[in-house]
A = this chain, B = another copy of it.
Amino acid sequence: FASPYSWIAAERIERLAAGASVKVRWRPFVIGPILRQRPHNPSPTQDAPPAQKKYRRRDVERICAREGLALKWPSTYPRNGLLAARVALTLESRARREFSLAVFRANFVQDQEVSEPTIIAGLLADMGRDAAADLARAQAPENKVALAAAVEEAIGKGIFGAPSVIVGKELFWGNDRLDQAIGWARAPWT
């Protein structure tokens, strides 16, 4: 939920998939434990040299402008997405998608502090849900264990970054690979 490229991919994937008659299953995980295993660069923001950081901002802005996404840079970066991931994991597929997009937009369009339970509760209430019950389920010990298991499953499938899309046994990493992932789901070319 902290990655602008994950947000862009989340906005794009359903549209691309619908056009190709491909079904998307949203799978929440958190990237922190994966990045912290990096020997050279364990930082949660994948610390880059200044030139590359500057480039990333411009790259995201260009892509958003092209995709018609109303980016407003988060005043805090990265925002901790742990609670949101825990909530997303408890939701069924349609609600999970709707909630995930709401969290991404709160972070990247409305500059809201999505690490805060009150903000997450507000997003759930906007969906017509019982936010208190959702948050309680999200924070229950068994759901924390379930999210840790989801991270392990992601690692087991070769995931090292976000966003990632898996089609069969094939991993595609990044917003830049959405088109290939959809293409592969329709007809693998190798």
Q: Within the complex, which residue of B47, B58, B189 is in contact with A65, where a contact is CB–CB below 8 Å?
A: B189
Which residues of the other chain, B, contact A176 by a CB distance below 8 angstroms? 174, 176
A186 to B160, CA, bound (A): 36
A124 to chain B, nearest CB (A): 34
Chain copies in the assembled complex = 2
A159 to B51, CA, bound (A): 7
Indicate if the CB atoms of A37 and B49 lie closer than 8 Å.
Answer: yes
A58 to B160, CA, bound (A): 14
The stretch that binds B, out of A38-46, A99-107, A132-140, is: A38-46
Which residues of the other chain, B, contact A47 by a CB distance below 8 angstroms? 39-40
Contact with B along A8-26 (1 / 0, CB 8 A): 0000000000000000000
Residue total for A at the interface (Cβ-Cβ under 8 A): 34
Which residues of the other chain, B, contact A171 by a CB distance below 8 angstroms? 55, 58
Q: Is A94 an interface residue (CB 8 A)?
A: no
Indicate if the CB atoms of A52 and B190 lie closer than 8 Å.
Answer: no
Q: Within the complex, which residue of B40, B51, B55 is in contact with A43, where a contact is CB–CB below 8 Å?
A: B40
With A41-B40, A171-B58 given, is the CB distance from A52 to B189 under 8 Å?
no
With A49-B38, A49-B39, A180-B62 given, is the CB distance from A158 to B55 under 8 Å?
yes
Cβ-closest chain B residue relative to A51: B160
* Further pairs besides A38-B49, A40-B43, A55-B173: 9, Cβ < 8 Å: A51-B158, A55-B160, A55-B171, A58-B171, A61-B190, A62-B184, A65-B189, A66-B189, A176-B176
Can you spell out 12 A-B residue pairs with CB atoms less than 8 angstroms apart?
Answer: A38-B49, A39-B47, A40-B41, A40-B47, A51-B158, A52-B160, A55-B171, A59-B177, A62-B189, A66-B180, A66-B189, A176-B176
